[in-house]
Amino acid sequence: MKIRINALAGIAIAATAALGLSACGSGSSPAASSSADASKGEITVYNAQHESLTKEWVDAFTAETGIKVTLRQGDDTEMSNQIVQEGAASPADVFLTENSPAMAQVENAGLFADVNKDTVAQVPAEFLEGGGTVLAVGRSAMNLAQLMQLPVSSHLTEKTPDGSVRPLPSEKFYVPGSILRVAVDTTAPIAHGITNPVDVFFDNSPVFELAPDAGLKGVRPVAWFDSPKPLRSGWAYGQGYLDGGVQVVDATVGAGKLYLFGPEITFRAQPHGTFKFLFNGIYLAARKAAAAPGTASR
């Protein structure tokens, strides 16, 4: 078993359980089978979200598809620990969570698999290219950047002796639930009203690396780490690796806009000063949609 994290977790996709969830499959061929094959009429969801809300989604999904959904309820840490303990034998087909640490734990255990091509094919690129706006936060931002084939990769990597690139191990880099300082390009519309520098809430969040030709492809940094010691509150092991990494990206995709946010800008305890990133994104999307009927935002 490998849980296949949805590249668009956080925005609705009808393909994977119609819920915008993380789905799973077997290790060698995630698209072909899983511990509970949906083609046989049943999937298992490990749910760390509000049970009553998830049940509404599940009931609607089952009514539409005929696929039975078994829910296992618990908090983020409980569910991620259980998945890691179960390993390849886990019956989980979907892990529904919003918090990066739980996702990181399962990912570091090698239990997430890629989104299968059939699912990706159902994501309408026309939405962005036709003038839509997408705000992607946390791990879903990195996944969406890769899905849209943007010149964006992870900044938190290292080269191995054989020349390959791998994610930084937790023995070298670990920054849970801390306040970090970033520099901001305040001329960017998405950063309107935000001070430079500004403090962000970072919880093992993704850090972006833009390719040298990113600007030519309409992808620009809006906020980034400009110091090897950005820690303001909390603790940050290996914080020097953050220097130069990007935290907010403004990407033009066709006629649309894709905003990538590494920090947890929607988290309840994040600094109030950076709520404006979210509000600006919503405002810009609504203004654009109003000016061009037929487009939408997510």
Kindly report, residue by residue over 79-103, the tens digit of the pLDDT: 999 999 999 899 998 899 876 678 7
Domain boundary among 120, 147, 174: 120
Average of per-residue pLDDT across 72-78: 91
Average of per-residue pLDDT across 11-34: 34
**Domain tally, the chain:** 2
Question: Of 243 and 144, which is predicted with more confidence?
Answer: 243
If you ran DSSP here, which 8-state letter would residue 174 be given?
Answer: B
Best CA proximity match to 198, nearest among 182, 186, 179:
182
Question: Of 109 and 194, which is predicted with more confidence?
Answer: 194
What digits encode the pLDDT tens for the residues 127-183? 888 888 999 988 778 888 888 889 999 999 998 888 888 889 889 999 988 999 999
Question: Do 90 and 156 lie in a common domain?
Answer: no
Question: Do 201 and 56 lie in a common domain?
Answer: no
Question: Do 139 and 195 lie in a common domain?
Answer: yes
Give the integer Cα–Cα distance in Å for 284 and 127: 16
Question: Do 287 and 140 lie in a common domain?
Answer: yes
Question: Do 135 and 246 lie in a common domain?
Answer: yes
What digits encode the pLDDT tens for the residues 57-68? 899 999 999 999
Give the integer Cα–Cα distance in Å for 84 and 106: 6
Confidence category of residue 1, pLDDT binned at 50, 70, 90 = low
What's the mean pLDDT when you consider all of the chain? 81
If you ran DSSP here, which 8-state letter would residue 117 be given?
Answer: H
Q: Output the pLDDT for position 4.
A: 47
**What SS3 state is found at 189?**
helix
Q: Output the pLDDT for position 40.
A: 61
Residue partners of 125: CB distance under 8 A and separation at least 6: 148, 253
Alpha helices by DSSP H, the chain? 51-65, 76-86, 100-108, 117-120, 126-129, 139-147, 275-291
**What SS3 state is found at 184?**
strand
Name the residue range of residue 282's domain.
Answer: 126-291
What digits encode the pLDDT tens for the residues 203-225? 889 999 999 999 999 999 999 99
Q: What angle do CA 140, 244, 172 make, to 5 degrees?
A: 75
Write the CA distances from 182 to 133, 219, 232, 237, integer angstroms: 24, 18, 10, 17
Residue partners of 216: CB distance under 8 A and separation at least 6: none
Give the integer Cα–Cα distance in Å for 60 and 53: 11
Domain boundary among 103, 120, 137: 120
Of 44-48, 121-125, 186-190, the one with minimum mean pLDDT is 121-125
pTM value? 0.68
Burial state string for 200-238 with b = 16 or more CB within 10 A and e = fewer than 16:
bbbbbbbbbebeeebeebebbbbbbbbbeebbeeeebee
Is there a domain that residue 298 lies in? no
Confidence category of residue 14, pLDDT binned at 50, 70, 90 = very low
Q: Output the pLDDT for position 26.
A: 36
Question: Do 110 and 208 lie in a common domain?
Answer: no
Question: Do 105 and 175 lie in a common domain?
Answer: no
**Are 208 and 261 in contact, with CB atoms under 8 Å apart?**
no
